[in-house]
Amino acid sequence: MRNLLIVTGALTGALLMASLAFAQAPAGQSGGNSLFQQNCAFCHGRDAGGGETGPDLTRSKVVAEDVNGDKIGPIVRNGIADKGMPKFALPENDIAALVAFIHEAKTKAEAQKGGRRGVDASDLLTGNAEAGKQYFNGGGGCAACHSPTGDLAGISKRLHGLSLEERLLYPRNPPATVTVTLPTGESIQGKLLHRDEFTVALRDASGRYRSWFTDKVKYKVDAPAEAHVDLLAKYSDADIHNLMAYLGTL
């Protein structure tokens, strides 16, 4: 019985010490990590060092200038809609925990040897903008589809760094049209929605979805963005750097 009381007392003491340690731990070490993994890691990476869609917070100017959440807090609460950052309705203590975790991650990242692991926008703007303009209007053939005063006006304000280079090299979901010729000779044109070995589908001018078996019709696809794919085999490093420098002036 005496031994049981001693063991019970020891366990109670250990639990009490663990509870006190958790309560006294900085917010970033207690709840901040869990909150970040649940709400932020899918964009900004598990260690806040950047993810597939979110920037590296450990090298963020906002984080560097933040004092006790005065910069980070409003962004968490309100989001940044035009950059895909949602808003989070979190209580103040949770936001404080997130802020603490982000600052802690920043401190750890800066202490690591081997230098930075990310890419700055400035790293991708080291080319010759004038040479990039000449390539855009000449050998690259970019001017055939794009205009610096049209679709590309203000592009450097909408896209930065890797996001801009990815759009340049690998356009996502580029628009394409398709003209389908039926056995009767009738031609139907619209936005290409789907194409595979068996079917082709479009949305016509009236908004109607239409599809056919490819062995029953003839069709022709107009996909200007495929020119980007063709250029991948032709670009030199200088061409890409120069183009990026030129786009950075728009």
What's the confidence (pLDDT) of residue 198? Answer: 92
Higher pLDDT, residue 188 or 117? 188
Mean pLDDT of 67-91: 88
pLDDT-based confidence at residue 25 (cuts at 50, 70, 90)? very low
Report pLDDT for 168: 77
CA-based nearest residue to 219, from 202, 239, 236, 242: 202
The predicted pLDDT at position 80 comes to 86
pLDDT of 155 above 90: no
pLDDT(85) > 50: yes
Whether residue 105 is predicted with pLDDT greater than 90 in this model: the reply is no
Instruction: Look up the pTM and report it.
Output: 0.46
Pick the most confident of 15-29, 77-91, 206-220: 206-220
**Whole-angstrom Cα distance, residue 230 to residue 244?**
18
Compute the mean pLDDT over every residue in the chain, rounded to the nearest whole number: 78
Please identify which residue in the block is written with the tokens 């205009």: 147
Q: Give 26's pLDDT tier (boundaries 50, 70, 90).
A: very low
Residue 74 has pLDDT above 80, yes or no: yes
As a whole number of angstroms, the longest Cα–Cα distance in the chain is 98
Residue range(s) in the chain whose domain bears CATH number 1.10.760.10: 2-111
| Structure confidence at residue 118 (pLDDT) | 57
For residues 197 and 6, which has the higher predicted lDDT (pLDDT)? 197
Is the pLDDT assigned to residue 213 strictly greater than 90?
Answer: yes
- Going by pLDDT thresholds of 50, 70 and 90, the confidence category of residue 16 is very low
**CATH of 177-223 among 2.30.30, 1.10.1130, 1.10.3470, 1.20.1070:** 2.30.30
CA end-to-end span of the chain, whole Å?
82
Which pLDDT score, from 0 to 100, does residue 184 have?
Answer: 92
Q: Is the pLDDT of residue 2 over 80?
A: no
Exposed, middle or buried by CB within 10 Å (0-12, 13-18, 19+), for 196?
A: exposed
Which residues of the chain are in CATH 2.30.30 domains? 177-223
Percentage, residues of the chain above pLDDT 70:
82
- For domain 2-111, give its CATH number from 1.10.760.10, 1.10.10.10, 3.40.50.2000, 3.40.50.1980: 1.10.760.10
